[in-house]
Chains A and B, each alone.
Chain A
Amino acid sequence: MTTLQPPAAVKRRPAPPPAKRDRRSWSGWGFIGPFVVVFAFVFLAPIAYSIYLSLFRDQLIGGTTFVGLDNYQQALQDDRFWQSLARVSLFLAVQVPIMLGIALLVALALDSGRLYGRDFFRISIFLPYAVPAVVATLMWGFMYGTRFGLVSDINDALGTSLPNPLSPDLVLASIGNIVTWEFVGYNMLIFYSALRVIPHSLYEAAEIDGAGQIRVITAIKLPAIRGALVIATIFSIIGTFQLFNEPNILQKLAPNSITTDYTPNFYTYSLSFSGQQHNYSATVAIIMGLITMVIAYVVQLRGMRKGA
């Protein structure tokens, strides 16, 4: 693009090229300008501001001082941060495969064409995604109640004593259950739409070759939707690392099971809103953002490489 020069100008004044630097064409900027401005203010400025914040420390006594990278050093040695990260990593390792597995099964079932009332199932499985996370968590929170909730009703009716889903040992699994319920439909839709674009001729060819349904799935369907699987996995990883609504709301019901540093996001929230440690909170957020980026990128690289 930079080499493009108006030919007329070349003809008229061929000899001296003294102001070569100034003669660059700026028309490209005209096209990209509006985007760059919006991009800079909406995407880059907040990040730049967070980085700026993370270089300071604001104390109740002493006010704001520049501390360089001290906050980063502190965060890297912060047990509370690493514990919260370990917690969401465990969540990631268990919940995401389960959720995506269910979503995939459902998508394959819907796509098989053998399901009666396919549209009904598709909509009803997708429906939880339309429920705001806050409402969903409140709803599940009530059901989890061992005193007046569904769990207590089951206990009363069957004479059982189910363990408390909101106890410290089980609450992570309970959150996993809520998240799975919320997002199976969403992921199912991604997979399902990827499945729908596979050309039918492939199935026909497979049938002629005598392939069974299982074979069709492993040899045609799964390879064809690999891209969708990778995307859904990346979304899920990011979503997991950003877990906030569910623990934040359940904490009101089970304050001793969910600490103020339960997930990295919840920790930054507590730091900033209860602790007035905005600078340190920005630091933790940036580190968390970097970690998420790296992991998502690695997954993308691996997923795509296999696909190639």
Chain B
Amino acid sequence: MRMNARRLLRGIALVSALTLGATACGGSDDSAAEQKPVSAKDIDAALKKGGTLKVWAWEPTLKKVAADFEKEHPKVKVDLVNAGTNADQYKALQNAIAAKKGVPDVAQIEYYALGEYALTKALDKLAPYGADKLAGKYSPGPWNSVKSGKDVYALPMDSGPMAMFYNKKVFDKYKLKVPTTWDEYVKTARDLHKANPKAYITADVGEGGTATSMLWQAGSRPYKVDGTKVKIDFSDAGAEKYTDTWQKLLDDKLIAPITGWTDDWYKGLGDGTIATLTTGAWMPANFVSGVKDASGDWRVAPLPQWTEGDTTTAENGGSSLALPTLGKHKELAYAFAEYANAGKGVQTRIKEGAFPATTADLESDAFQNTAFPYFGGQKANKIFAESAANVGRGWSYLPYQVYANSIFNDTVGKAYVSGTKLADGLKAWQDASVKYGEEQGFTVEK
């Protein structure tokens, strides 16, 4: 019997060795050869030939764009899939790329996440398709965001110059002045919470994207990236300005501990619990769909400033369309991305409430004079466009910002729920980001 058991084991070992061998074969890495240029003629030919284009995006206005695109090119079918919003979609996309299977032809990728994909050569360079000619069409902020070094890796779809949304009804009720500086903002927060202990100036439980945008506006430049060399430092003067102010709000419990995009959050925006929201210009469409009850209550104001009379702003969010290297139908993919982000699609998307990245549209009278019924007829685009023009220069994200943001709450989040100071939280975030960078083979300077 013992003999048998040993033989059985040997058999099992053999079979598992075989399967192991089979699974191990998938590991060979064939990095893409130098891309061949694709001419406009090639693209036309591909459009005439047709095919099914797989697009992964969560941006709602693309639905109409895809339908229009299909109408214009009857042989092309656009298979628009919502594979999750931001981080969820990146997980799916990374998995598809790692498995070399089911990779979409076009993927929506936010600016802060592009670096990682460009670095790992997961995206096609777009200059060979003729994208470099589009440089003049875009405002410099978004255009720089889709570049890594000299190469263009995506076409900007929208942008998120920041502004302050505020609930005018609440401000009127408690006779509050709309703050123009962050000091005033803190004072307003105190006055409001004193007048109504159930009302808060804003809701925040700590979120990497928001925090980095705040740091950006405050003049902090914590990330310096040069190829594979990275420097992370949250100890500059800008970061100090941010932590000082936000610490006051946290210490006095003036910020509602409500997580963004939850039911509580939407309710809070609707019923006056949350009085302001500082975020990107892509927000209005979300107000219209998510906070219907408060239609007419909200208005838009310029972002509060760190120095009185200043106009510096920052970007929050904003995404692009990119062509994963492993996708198929390259010509169709590029044609679609260009149609949606630089062609006729832009107007369609503006009509549906998107905020464009193309200068001609941003500066057009029609765009600037659009009245938002939700904001009581306010011409909010003027404020957004002005913000777009005043975005602080020289910001860059980490090449692994998606991961860094995923551990924001592990580190900085402590400052929101315990006695940890925000500045110490940032330091912990810095250390964890440095550690990860080193593990991933970056040369990290502290």
Residues in A lying within 8 Å of B, measured CB to CB: 1-2, 28-29, 32, 36-37, 39-41, 44-45, 48-49, 52, 59-64, 145, 147-148, 167-168, 252-257, 259-261, 270, 273-278
Contact = CB atoms under 8 A, between A and B. Distances in A.
Given A63-B29, A259-B409, A259-B410, A276 B94 contact: yes
A60 B417 CA distance: 33
A64 B29 contact: yes
Interface of B: 1, 3-4, 8, 11-12, 15-17, 19-20, 23-24, 27, 29, 87, 91, 94-95, 98, 116, 119-120, 205-206, 228, 258-259, 262-264, 267-268, 273, 399-400, 402-403, 406-407, 409-410, 413-414, 416-418, 436, 439-442
A36 B416 CA distance: 54
A256 B414 contact: yes
Given A148-B267, A167-B417, A275-B403, A59 B440 contact: yes
A257 B257 CA distance: 12
Given A41-B19, A52-B24, A60 B406 contact: no
A52 B23 contact: yes
A148 B270 CA distance: 13
Given A1-B4, A44-B15, 5 more contacts: A40-B16, A60-B442, A61-B441, A62-B441, A253-B262
A40 B12 CA distance: 6
A64 to B, nearest CB: 7
A36 B12 CA distance: 7
A138 to B, nearest CB: 11
B29 A60 contact: no
A255 B259 contact: yes
A148 B264 contact: yes
B15 to A, nearest CB: 4
13 contacts: A37-B15, A40-B15, A44-B19, A60-B400, A62-B441, A63-B29, A148-B267, A252-B259, A253-B259, A256-B414, A260-B406, A260-B409, A261-B410
B15 A148 contact: no
Contacts of B119: 60-61
A85 B14 CA distance: 34
Contacts of A275: 403, 406, 436
B228 to A, nearest CB: 5
Contacts of B4: 1-2, 28
Taking chain B's interface residues, is the majority helix, strand, or loop, or is none over half, making it mixed?
helix
Contacts of B228: 61
Given A45-B19, A148-B263, A275-B403, A61 B442 contact: yes
A34 to B, nearest CB: 12
Given A167-B417, A257-B417, A260-B410, A252 B262 contact: yes
A39 to B, nearest CB: 7
Nearest to A61: B441
Given A60-B441, A168-B418, A256 B409 contact: yes
Given A253-B259, A256-B416, A64 B27 contact: yes
A280 to B, nearest CB: 8
B439 A255 contact: no
A260 B436 CA distance: 14
Contacts of A52: 20, 23-24
Given A40-B12, A40-B19, A276-B94, A256 B417 contact: yes
Given A64-B29, A255-B205, A2 B20 contact: no
A256 B413 contact: yes
Given A52-B24, A60-B400, A256-B417, A39 B12 contact: yes
Contact of A145 (B264, B402, B414, B439): B264
B250 to A, nearest CB: 12
A170 to B, nearest CB: 11
A270 B407 CA distance: 9
A80 to B, nearest CB: 9
Nearest to B95: A273
B206 A255 contact: yes
Contacts of B3: 2
Contacts of B264: 145, 147-148
A59 B439 contact: yes
| Ranked 9 nearest A-B pairs via Cβ | A61-B441, A256-B413, A40-B15, A59-B441, A45-B19, A274-B406, A255-B409, A62-B441, A60-B440
Among A29, A168, A255, residue most surrounded by chain B Cβ atoms (within 10 Å): A255
Contact of B20 (A48, A61, A260): A48
A45 B16 contact: yes
Given A41-B19, A274-B403, A275-B436, A32 B206 contact: no
Among A252, A259, A276, residue most surrounded by chain B Cβ atoms (within 10 Å): A276
Contacts of B259: 252-255
A168 B15 CA distance: 47
B132 to A, nearest CB: 26
B28 to A, nearest CB: 10
A267 B19 CA distance: 28
Contacts of B12: 36, 39-40, 44
A48 B403 CA distance: 28
A92 to B, nearest CB: 23
Contacts of A257: 417
Nearest to A280: B439
Nearest to B400: A60
Contacts of B416: 256
A45 B403 contact: no
Contacts of B120: 60
A117 to B, nearest CB: 37
Nearest to A56: B27
Nearest to A33: B11
A5 to B, nearest CB: 15
A147 B402 CA distance: 30
